[in-house]
Structures are given as C-alpha cells and as structure tokens.
Amino acid sequence: MKPKPYSFLRLSLNRYFCVQSRPLMAQTQTPPCPDLELPDHRPIAESRAERAWAHWAKLGRPRFIVAPMVDNSELPFRMLCRKYGAQGAYTPMLHSRIFTETEKYRNEEFTTCKEDRPLFVQFCANDPDILLEAARKVELYCDYVDINLGCPQRIAKRGNYGAFLMDNLPLVKSLVEKLANNLQVPVSCKIRLFPNLEDTLKYARMLEEAGCMLLAVHGRTRDEKDGKKFRADWKAIRAVKNAVRIPVLANGNIRHMDDVTDCLEETGVEGVLSAETLLENPAVFAGFRTAEWVSENEGTVVDGKLDQADLLIEYLKLCEKYPVPWRMIRSHVHKLLGDWFSLQPHIREELNKQSKLTFEFLYDMVDRLRDTGTRIPLYKVPE
C-alpha cells in the first residue's frame, strides 16, 4: 500500500518537537507525545522580536517586494522593478557551497549597488558551516540573509535543499541558529506550507525560536508547484502571521495591485512578494496591468502610455550599466515580449537563432517589432 504523501513527514515533525520540548534527562525515554509546545523562552523571544520589528521599521516597512527568482531577480531587473514601485527585493537563490568555493560564480551571480536596498540575499544550503561562510561574504551588502526553505523543484530534491529540508527539521533549525548566532544582519526564511495547517504553525514557531527575524510564506505546499493550477492559501498565511511575533510576508496569487491590496487585508502581513507576474510586467507595483487582467475592470482602465517594449529598453540599459550573464537577459526578453512574439513569430525565430546576443541586436529587434505596428499597452486604473 502506497503511503500517503507527507505521512512520514508529520510523524517526524511530531517526534522532533516532542524531543526538543522534553528535558535532556528524559530524551532517552519514549513517552506518548503530548500536545506539542515549544520551550518557554519568552524573554529571549520577545527581545529578538523587538529587534526584528526595529530592523523592519528602520528599513521603512517595505510592502511591495520582488520575490527571489533563479536567473531572474538579478540586479538590473531588481533596479527596474524598484523604479516602478518595488520597495524591496530578493536576489536569485545562490548555492552556498558553490558561492564559497568559486570566485567566478560569486562575481557573476551576486551583484548589487548602493541603491539596491532593502535587499535580501537568498542561499540554499544543507550544511550550517558552509552556509555561514557564504553568508559572511554578503552580510555587509544586504539587509537580510535569507534561507531558501521553499524551492519545490526536482533539482532541490536532488541537492537536498529548499522545501525538501522540511523532511529534516533538526537540520533546518541548525541552519537558522548558525546564522542567527554569528551574523551582523538578521536571518530571514522563505517557506512553503505543510498539508496540515497545525504542522505549518509549529514549523513557523520553530524557525522563530531558532532566530529567524522575518518569515516569507508561499501559500502553497511543496507538491503544489503550478501557480496557475493551485491558488495560494491566504488563510493559512494569516494563521502563520498570528502564530509568530516577527514580521511576515505573503507570496502567491498576485496579478495586479487589486490583489496586493486584498492580500494585505486578508492576511494582515507586512508585505507582499511577486514573482511570475513581475517577469511579464515589472511595473505591477506602480499600478500597471497587462491586458489579461483588464477584463476584471472593463470600462475602468486606460492605456498607461507604457508597454513591455519600453520596459525592455529600460532593462537593457540597466544591463549595460550593471552587467549580468546573457542567459538572464535572454530569459527576460522572452518573458517581456512573449505576447509580442506571438503576433510576430518570425522575429522570435530570429532571436532564437542568435547563439550570442548583443545589445545592438536587441535594440534593433525592438525597433523592428515596433515597425510592424505591433503594440500591446499596459493599462492603469485611473486614480
């Protein structure tokens, strides 16, 4: 008989909290597990929570935040989003071991500038010492070092990181504690939900107890990878918000600013993360929306006098100022101009034939798209 998903995981979760909450002398015994409670470290926890809120206030309490995206939330894209309303941003997920070992990887994958704040630098890891070594290389250039505990992809399973560390809670706790006890900047964590809400709440409290000073919650489980198929659970995010004393951010179901407003109201969180929507429309937080979401407000939106080709040109200029690998640039070109290419597929084919890209080619490509008469505006709701 095939076991139910997460059944083994809930057992390990229960055992973990039982062992952690019993006195040391009793840990060799196996009494029935009572209702799970964390140790009463309230004075310490309250002091840490006060520091967490003081730090968040010092940053200006950012509400609109660029989520971490592999190969996509790099410096030029972060700066573009900041111009259009983003108040904070995550780097792409960085591999802690490779980051510590390879100078070329560090130089190419992590770049920033003085205007790139508040900034979360996110690492995946499964070794506390390696994670600390990596984090120390960036702590002077960011406002949080973030631990990726939410990646659900197959590569994370193979590498034993991201959401698959939910199977090993003692390791998760040790990662957070290692950073919390040794860094000058706060530690944040980005997580997904357990299928059982109570398990999620225990998980969030454990992270807070270990030293996490900000929690970003993706409102889907590890198995719910398809954001279009599975709606994020805002009620679960609100429950997490109510269960911890530290700032909480929400991730999921953000298509336009109406969703941002609804999410903040329904969850009570401090801020909202956006990922996929920003890739197609980096001006989301400035109130712009794509034609896909106009039908919800027919008759109440106007041409925003901005389109994705305009945004691409701005992005390319930022890439000239802040160089990044061409694979990142190519990815953004396809994301931003996907709808345009569907109308002019021959121009997309020309792009795909280029084994090496140049800025000259890309600027010319945008001009050729415009010469065809193609324009797909972004829309705004009049104020």
Active site (catalytic) residues: 151
Max Cα–Cα distance, the chain, nearest Å: 77
Residues with Cβ within 8 Å of 65's Cβ and at least 6 positions away in sequence, in order, are 86, 87, 88, 89, 90, 249, 271, 272, 273, 274
Residue pair 257/350 in contact (Cβ under 8 Å)? The answer is no
Residue pair 339/309 in contact (Cβ under 8 Å)? The answer is no
Residues with Cβ within 8 Å of 252's Cβ and at least 6 positions away in sequence, in order, are 218, 219, 220, 227, 231, 232, 233, 234, 237
DSSP code, position 21: H
Residue 259 dihedral angles phi and psi, to the nearest 5°: -65, -40
Number of H helices, E strands in the chain: 17, 12
Cα gap 309→74, rounded to integer Å: 19
Cα gap 18→32, rounded to integer Å: 9
C-alpha 170 chain-centroid distance: 23
Residue pair 241/264 in contact (Cβ under 8 Å)? The answer is no
Tokens standing for residue 78? 């972060």
Range 128-150 burial, b when 16+ CB lie within 10 A, else e: bebbbbbbeebbebbbbbbbbbb
Beta strands at 212-221 and 64-66: parallel, antiparallel or unpaired: unpaired
Cα gap 57→41, rounded to integer Å: 24
DSSP code, position 134: H
35: buried, middle or exposed (CB in 10 Å: 19+, 13-18, 0-12)? exposed
